[in-house]
Structure 1
Amino acid sequence: MIRIKAIFIGVILLGIVVISAFFIWLAPVGAGYTAKIMCSAIFVDGLPSSRARDEDVLADNNALLSLITTNIDLRNKTVSAHVFGFRTRLAIYRPVLGCVLADDADQITQLRSNTPLITPVDAKPLMTGPLPKDVERRALNALLFDVMDEPGPKPTRRTRAVVVLHQGKVIAERYDEGITAKTRLPGWSLTKSVFNALLGSMQLKGMIGDMNDPVPINAWQSNGNDPRAAITYDNLLRMRSGLEFDENYANPLSDVVQMLFVEPAAAGFAVAKPLINPPGAEFSYSSGATNILSAAILNQSGTRGIYQKRPTDLLFRPLGINSAVIETDQDGYFIASTFMHATARDWAKIGQLFLQNGVWDGERILPKDWVDYSISPAPADPNGIYGAHWWRDLPGGNNDDANNKTPKVPKDAFFALGHDGQSISVIPSKELVVVRLGLTRDRYAFDLRGFIANLSQLFPTIDPNAAQQTGNEDRRDDEGNNQDQGAPAAQ
């Protein structure tokens, strides 16, 4: 009897500990995640509130999120979330800057008063083009049908958009029900590759120096003995900063989850992490690295107003990307690791810019060697699959397996990849850019490698030595000499 009583008391105590842990540590994360994701899905992407909750928040996610109650204020464009009335978190929408978590009514007023005035971007729509005559339309349609289809009776793949560019023109696109070519969609870590391009544009214009220079972070450089002051742009871009950071979305207490959905200052949280390895020594994927770069861009910009206009003025305006929204933390720093939203076609323009070696409509946007730099491995890691905020291969690659009979991804392909199955695939030898956006939390529900390999196989390989004359502006270097002729500038 005494033993049974002890077990009973132990179970009760364990239950109390679990419930306490939930309310103290997990509830704020879940409420913050729910409020932020729903706010962005509804007010930035334009999705119905029921879809935002049932898919963007709950689908294939932790069941505890179903305990969270939400309140959507369509008039004031806010979403609040709480667990049984406790640990309420609030997300608010602001024009231009999207959604941000706020603490109270006073902070809402302050955040909304700091919204920058940015001249709207004139759209430069991508042109549509015919399918190349030697590409079998039926085979292409079959691949696209499969991407949009579900592998089983329960939705797990949830592809929302696919866009295929060939020679800078849209030759195929598919959208899920309720999604159109005008619907913004989150890119998650595709945002990292966009900030790679922003840094390239800033370097071209002389706003920043060499990527091997120490990154200007005041908290590091104000202390002459801080070893973090030696961290370079290159260290951060190649995910070799040496800083401690736990990039585990499955753990609600991990650094990446706390940074995105609990901490008020994403950049400040990342900057404060301690050094655990020498800079440049070891690869460790970290969203914190990109938010440190975001802080460095602000330091180089002088004022927050100039900083918040940088992506638009240096990148989106020349490309005619008018759908992009990059969200910030409460301090006004772009959450450069994660929170950009754009239409599938505008995401494709980022890939096309890199396919065209940093030139758009005859204007050089990125330095001549920037794309080569972005997709090259770190000097100490010649077999690595990561470059500088671009992937050189897909994780779980099988291209080097000589016994594998499945189609191979072209060796010159490179990728921007994001959480929940977002991808931009750039394949220079095929003059292809492929964007796939969705809500795929089961990594086995969609085979990106197989899709890109099979799609690439349908298209002829270009002769790299053959000049391409397509009626668009040739790409020219700073001396006006024709260089890297290949995919035309998209219009």
Structure 2
Amino acid sequence: MNIKNLLLATLSFLAFSCSNDENGNSNSTPEEALYFPPIGSDDWATKTPESLGWNTNNIQQLYDYLELKNSKSFIVLHNGKIVLEKYFGTHTATTPWYWASAGKTLTSTVTGIAEQEELININNKVSTYIGTGWTSETIAKENLITCKHLLTMTSGLDDAYNNSTDETINDCVSPGCLVYKADAGTRWAYDNVYVKLQDVVAQASGQSWSNYFNTKLRDKIGMTGTWLQQYSNSIFWSNTRSMARFGLLALANGKWDGTTIINSNYFNTTTHTSQNINLAYGYLWWINGESSYHMPQTQVTFNGSLIPNAPADMFCALGKNDQKIYVVPSKKLVIIRMGDAADSSNFAMSGFDNELWGKINLVIN
């Protein structure tokens, strides 16, 4: 045997020795495959917190905190399986509740589906699909606004109506409420104008928004729920497990049990920084672990991570009055919280996020 072959044989033996015991059996534990609950069934596999080495002594403390903070439901998935599931008060596993702005991520996802079907291109101007005059801007300024600007909250439209205390106009997206503030792409502002993407998809597909959503996303991953009109906005309502199914799709980067629902490249883009103004914002998803962030309804840049107590790789869907979907790829976690506002009414982000993660960490770490 020449020196080269001897070296290869030695390396192969060392690799075998490191990965197998003295009887030739593997020392490594096969990685658990991501689990997906069946479509059209309430069956959902579970695992115990003990099997994950979690601190079970602190679970009741977490539940007590959630109840104190007006929660209605709470679910933790690990690798797709339910580890914790708790309902509070009269709320049950079948009770529907509103997603509020956490549902923005549904619009982002379905917009991506429409693009992968070549019905739209997010780099095209919005008026390509719904015509001109959908704002009060000049045609020249309106035509600067692309679908991508709506996805990233950088339309440049004045968000003043979203700051109103009058709920009847707070969500206004009629032309009279969509007023020029800055050129598209130059200003980040949390604004309900993103719902115009639903009109874009409806026009491009020749279907109603809800029908396209149900066919292309909801039914394919076994969700239930419906869009209900609230003033000028369309809000999604579902039970908590349906929200968890969507969170699981996000953890799987757009695939459901081996089937691509949304292109993984697009979905990966949605959950990373989308512009250089608010680093903590993707395509209607919030991003943790960046060096700075903006809060809804402000133009102030805050230094540091969005939710310091949470893992840096987490991305999340955040809705009014503390509706939450937290997705943590490094820990294979999806965490859902539904309920009333933990402390006081808020638009999406609140101090509750960081407090809650402090309690979660006492269980999972």
TM range (shorter): 0.7 to 0.9
Hey, what's the Cα distance between the residues in 1 that align with 2:237 and 2:325?
Answer: 14
Identify which of 123, 127, 130 aligns with 1:212.
123
What CA distance in whole angstroms lies between the structure 2 residues aligned with 1:249 and 1:243? 13
**CA deviation after TM superposition for structure 1 residue 457, in Å:** 6.0
Contact map agreement 2:48 2:83 (CA 8 A) in 1 = yes
Tell me the alpha carbon deviations over residues 267-312 of structure 1, each in whole angstroms, 9 at most, x when there is no partner.
5x1586122211011101101x2221121112112244xx331111
Structure 1 position 374 matched with structure 2 position 270:
yes
Matching residue's letter, 2:340: L
Q: Are 1:128 and 2:46 matched, yes or no?
A: yes
Match of 1:317 in 2: 219
Task: Out of 354-363 and 214-223, give the one that drifted further.
Answer: 214-223
SS of the aligned residue for 1:230 comes to: coil
Q: CA deviation at 1:412?
A: 0.3
CA positional deviation for 1:423: 0.9
Would you say how many aligned residue pairs link Structure 1 and Structure 2?
Answer: 309
Please show how residues 279-318 of structure 1 align to structure 2 within 5 Å: 279-287=184-192, 289-304=193-208, 307-318=209-220
Give distance in 1, aligned partners of 2:286 and 2:260.
23
Q: What's the secondary structure of 2:100's corresponding residue?
A: coil
* Length-normalised TM-score, structure 1: 0.57
1:178 equivalent to 2:97? Answer: no
Q: Does 1:412 align with 2:317?
A: no
| Residues 213 and 233 in structure 1, CA contact (< 8 A), matched pair in contact too | yes
Distance between the aligned counterparts of 2:268 and 2:207, measured in 1?
31
User: How many percent identity over aligned positions?
Assistant: 23
Displacement after TM superposition at 1:214 (Å): 1.4
Tell whether 2:334 aligns with 1:433.
Answer: yes
d(CA) in 2 for partners of 1:434, 1:236:
27
When residues 171 and 442 of structure 1 are mapped into structure 2, their CA distance, relative to the original with a 3 A threshold, is same
Letter of the 1:162 partner, please give it. Answer: F
d(CA) in 2 for partners of 1:317, 1:212? 28
- Whether 1:228 and 2:142 are equivalent positions in the alignment is yes
CA RMSD, 1 decimal = 3.1
d(CA) in 2 for partners of 1:428 and 1:456? 16
CA distance 1:446–1:147, shift in 2 (3 Å): farther
Q: Return the alpha-carbon distance in structure 1 between the equivalents of residues 62 and 226 of structure 2.
A: 30
> Secondary structure at 2:180's aligned position in 1?
coil
Structure 1 residues 390, 271: CA separation in 2 closer, same or farther (over 3 Å shift)? farther
Q: Structure 1 residue 146: deviation in Å?
A: 1.7
- Residues 379 and 311 (structure 1 numbering): CA distance in 2 closer, same or farther, change over 3 Å? same
Q: Separation in 2 of the partners of 1:239 and 1:284? A: 6
Separation in 2 of the partners of 1:449 and 1:190?
A: 17
Aligned to 2:25: none
- Within the candidate set 164, 188, 192, 2:76 is matched to 164
1:164, 1:171 within 8 Å by CA — same for their partners in 2? Answer: yes
Aligned 8 A contact 2:308 2:354 in 1: no
Which amino acid counterpart does residue 386 of structure 1 have in structure 2? Y
* Distance (whole Å) between structure 1 residues aligned to residue 186 and residue 116 of structure 2: 28
- Aligned CA distance change for structure 1 residues 271 and 229 (closer, same or farther; 3 Å): farther
State the AA in 2 paired with 1:353: L
Where does structure 2 lack aligned partners over 5 or more consecutive residues? 1-38, 296-301
- Which deviations, in whole Å up to 9, do the C-alpha atoms of 1:42-79 show, x marking residues without a partner? xxxxxxxxxxxxxxxxxxxxxxxxxxxxxxxxxxxxxx
Structure 1 residues 239 and 270 mapped into 2: Cα distance closer, same or farther (>3 Å)? Answer: farther
Q: How does 1:53-452 map to 2 (within 5 A)?
A: 122-123=40-41, 125-131=43-49, 132-148=51-67, 150=68, 157-209=69-121, 211-215=122-126, 216-220=129-133, 225-246=139-160, 248=162, 251-252=165-166, 257-258=168-169, 260=171, 267=173, 269=174, 273-287=178-192, 289-304=193-208, 307-322=209-224, 324-328=225-229, 335-336=233-234, 339-381=235-277, 384-393=279-288, 408-440=309-341, 442-443=343-344, 447-452=352-357
In structure 2, distance between residues paired with 1:367 and 1:453? 34
SS at match of 1:447: helix
Contact 1:430 1:459 in 2 (8 A): no
Question: Distance between the aligned counterparts of 1:457 and 1:202, measured in 2?
Answer: 41
Task: Go from structure 1 to structure 2 and tell me whether the alpha carbon gap of 1:141 and 1:377 turns closer, same or farther (over 3 Å shift).
Answer: same
Q: Is the 8 A contact 1:204 1:367 kept in 2?
A: yes
Q: Which AA in structure 1 matches 2:44?
A: L
Q: Equivalents in 2 of 1:443, 1:188: separation in Å?
A: 15
Alpha-carbon distance in 2 for matches of 1:310, 1:400: 36
* One-letter identity of the residue aligned with 1:202: A
Is the Cα–Cα contact under 8 Å of residues 408 and 453 in structure 1 kept in the other structure? yes
- 1:337-358 C-alpha deviation (Å, 9 max, x unpaired): xx11111111111111111100
Contact 1:238–1:378 (CA under 8 A) maintained in structure 2:
yes
Q: Is the 8 A contact 1:204 1:365 kept in 2?
A: no
Q: What secondary structure is seen at the aligned counterpart in 1 of 2:156? A: coil
Which AA in structure 1 matches 2:282? G
Gaps of 5+ in 1: 1-120, 151-156, 261-265, 461-491
**For the residues of structure 2 that align with 1:398 and 1:170, how far apart are their CA atoms?**
35
